[in-house]
Chains A and B, each alone.
Chain A
Amino acid sequence: MAELLEVQGLETRFFTRDGVVHAVNGVDFRLQQGETLGVVGESGCGKSVTMLSVLRLIPQPPGKITGGSAVFQGNDLLKMSEEEIRHIRGAQISMVFQDPMTSFNPVLTIGRQLMEPLELHLGMSRTMARERAAQLLEMVGIPQARDRLNDYPHQFSGGMRQRVMIAMALSCNPQILIADEPTTALDVTIQAQIVELVKKLRDEIGMAVIWITHDLGIIAGIAHRVVVMYAGYIIEEAPVKELYGNPQHPYTLGLMGSLPRLDERERRRLVSIDGLPPILYELPNYCPFAPRCAYVIERCWNENPPLVQRSVDHKVACWVDVAEGRRPA
């Protein structure tokens, strides 16, 4: 498989009145052609900021990308001019956002908004763009697509709006689709519709997908490979079956244990992770998970563990080998 995107040492900071927020702290990951990468973490762990940084969509100021590279097809996205990245954004790498209510312009028709990227990126004429927009709506399963082009965003339900959002993201046949919690605002039955839709389109078009979510359930069904983020770091990375079958980082273990499962047979007490995620005004010189970790040893307080290869396909950032039978006290 060919490498599509390679991010290395990405660092993003927010310079706020209260201090510098260290949102992303040296993140490395790769994305292959046609692959679906799941990015998991809780709110504030830096998963969205990482992807927004790659597309240079961080509001600046207060945000700033302070280091790293993001190489897409041989070019560093972080170094190119505003003009150049505009040709990539929405055309070759596109993004779907969490809230389908606020990501549209409420005073323009859906048709107008769908046609805009087609005219801008692909240089289509108005009639051609309109034709293609109708096709796109059909592709994502919106009935009476042609008539609905004249409707405004508020005339669509949440699930339908997210479909339109996906249609817009796919309009220029991107190579990468970044989906940032695209189903979090939706009901489960609608969520299932959207997940199936993205899977189907992904396989048809052969694009790569980065799916950002806090829901380990969705990731299990859609991703090939998963990275887990905490406090602006990637703390674990593995193929999906390996990660769920053999989680290595205490945080990942904790997350898995804190989820009730629909197919659980016996009632068990949920494993909760004590304490709160850190606020990143200062980069700790120890492991950022140490204060909440059940496996903590002295070394954790002295050095922040780097993300290292533990087996062929499994990277972990932890000093402790959880599998060695060390149980929490």
Chain B
Amino acid sequence: MSENNILLRVENLVKYFPITRGIIFQKQVGAVHAVDNISFFIRRGETFGLVGESGCGKSTTGRTILQLYRPTSGHVYFDGIDLTTIKGQELRRMRRRMQMIFQDPYASLNPRMTVGEIVGEPLIIHGVAKGAEVRERVEYLLSVVGLNPVFANRYPHEFSGGQRQRIGVARALALQPELVVCDEPISALDVSIQAQVVNLLEDLQDQFGLTYLFIAHDLSMVRHISDRVAVMYLGVIAEMASRDEIYNNPLHPYTQALLSAVPVPDPLVEEKRRRIILEGDVPSPVNPPSGCRFRTRCRLAAEICAEQVPEWREVLPDHWVACHMVV
């Protein structure tokens, strides 16, 4: 795999959020270990799925990549340029090449702006277009995402959840980005509408050669849309492989449990399935377990799991896992 095929490379990324006490003199008393030393890469034109349960750090990862949060340590290389070391004008120029689609189509659109203003704003901010050109471009973008260009004069509240998400997609595409971070773009939508938005994202990828970082908790949907998948647990990546490999040959005990927990819409399959039921809840990221993060709920946990952080290693070609018990 040649290096220039890789669009995004994340190395040892760490993001802690400080917990402070006191009103005027704030003293740091601890930290939420939201993302703790993760490394992965995304190839140009692929869809990389990042899955995990709530609070596992998947959204923080997405935001830290875009430098919406500055990382505590580690590096994010976008097309070879380390985003963590640049700022100001330089960073803004890079931002044009990566955009985000948010989870909540109700909260991520300004209710006092028209759809045309929302979709056109990035063009004006980045000085890509002005005047009549903006208008033209907005109409084109709306038609690309399957909305009637006449809607440009309407306000977000006049649209349904699925249509709003299309507006969010149009805004993300305005600057012709290379990377789009989709942070749970469909989880607020109804099933029949989810399929519409996913099909749209797939079509746009083919049309514009986009690279997606697709963050979600729905494993079936991630399997459907992704080329490669990483599974996160409590701030770390447990396993990473191609979509078929991770679903057919999961090696990490957490991945196995997670996959077995997902219901399949077929009573004949459900009848025969054996579930691995995890005990208890996810521990607090403020004070995560020593060694392997998953050991408190792991059925294979041994002494070494409490003592040493498992190494992040490639056990099969393109199949990475962090577990002491995997040979």
Chain A interface residues toward B at CB < 8 A: 42-43, 157, 159-160, 187-193, 195-196, 214-221, 240-241, 244-245, 254-264, 267, 269-274, 276-277
Contact = CB atoms under 8 A, between A and B. Distances in A.
Interface string B149-179: 0000000000010100000000000000000
Contacts of B32: none
Given A43-B190, A214-B190, A244-B266, A258 B281 contact: no
A262 B278 contact: no
A192 B221 CA distance: 18
A190 B223 CA distance: 20
A162 to B, nearest CB: 11
A187 B191 contact: no
A188 B269 contact: no
A217 B264 contact: yes
A3 B173 CA distance: 57
A221 B267 contact: yes
B190 A189 contact: no
A156 to B, nearest CB: 10
Interface stretch (B33-41, B79-87, B194-202): B194-202
B162 A276 contact: yes
Interface residues of B, number: 42
A260 B220 contact: yes
A160 B273 CA distance: 25
Contacts of A256: 265
B265 A272 contact: no
Interface stretch (B63-71, B107-115, B254-262, B310-318): B254-262
A215 B259 CA distance: 16
Given A187-B54, A272-B196, A276-B162, A261 B258 contact: no
A1 B38 CA distance: 56
B192 A220 contact: no
Contacts of B202: 269
Contact of A254 (B192, B225, B262): B192
Given A187-B54, A188-B219, A196 B277 contact: yes
> Chain B interface mostly helix, strand, loop or mixed?
helix
B291 interface: no
30 contacts: A42-B190, A42-B192, A188-B219, A188-B258, A188-B262, A189-B53, A189-B258, A189-B278, A192-B260, A193-B277, A196-B275, A196-B277, A214-B191, A217-B263, A217-B264, A220-B263, A220-B265, A221-B270, A241-B267, A259-B191, A260-B224, A262-B247, A262-B259, A267-B224, A270-B224, A272-B199, A273-B192, A273-B196, A276-B160, A276-B162
Contacts of A43: 190
B125 interface: no
A261 B264 contact: yes
Interface of B: 53-54, 160, 162, 190-196, 198-199, 202, 217, 219-221, 223-225, 247, 257-270, 273, 275, 277-278, 281-282
A256 B221 CA distance: 14
The 5 closest A-B CB pairs, nearest first, are A217-B263, A260-B224, A258-B195, A192-B261, A272-B195
Nearest to A40: B191
A196 B263 CA distance: 12
Nearest to A188: B261
B275 A220 contact: no
A191 B270 CA distance: 15
A271 B195 contact: yes
Given A187-B53, A189-B53, A271-B195, A215 B263 contact: yes
Most B CB atoms within 10 A — which of A217, A260, A271? Answer: A260
Contacts of A273: 192, 195-196
A293 to B, nearest CB: 12
Contact of B220 (A42, A196, A254, A262): A262
A257 B221 CA distance: 13
A241 B258 contact: no
Contact of B265 (A217, A241, A267, A269): A217
A129 B149 CA distance: 64
A263 B247 CA distance: 8
Contacts of B268: 241, 244-245
B190 A270 contact: no
B275 A159 contact: no
Contacts of A264: 220, 223-224
